[in-house]
Amino acid sequence: MKDRTLILIKPDAIRKGLIGVILSRFENVGFKIVKLKMVRLSEEDAKNFYSVHMNKPFFKNLVPFIASGPVVAAVIEGEDVRVVTRKIIGPTNPKYAPPGTIRGDFGTSITENAIHASDSHDSFLKEYEVIFGSQD
């Protein structure tokens, strides 16, 4: 089985109608979307999803933002998927994200940066459970 990761298209990107544009960036590099779901996170699920950031200054804005509207979660699969995904999305702060990255093209702030991606296998497992429940 190839490596998997989770991406979350955030409410700002959903409002801008960017679901297909963002998903196509992963398909265009040969990654396969193996699971897809649109959901609106409760505040409790949002806190759980982003619990690793609980002590960071942006956490207080991130939770209400991510729960403010629907998100699209996708499990993507492919060779070196986490490393390549980090390159596709760009740095967290869109100000430093180069054009051609998702955050460089569509992000407007550290919170409203269009997309989240799991940064490790452990994060993937935890985030997958919040969104999809236990692994199949």
Backbone angles phi, psi at 103, to 5 degrees: -70, -35
State yes or no: is 116 an active-site residue: yes
Between CA 123 and CA 33 the distance in angstroms is 18
Which of the following is catalytic: 116, 118, 130, 131?
116
Residues 6+ apart with CB under 8 A from 19: 9, 13, 72
Which amino acid, residue 99? P
Residues identified as active-site: 116
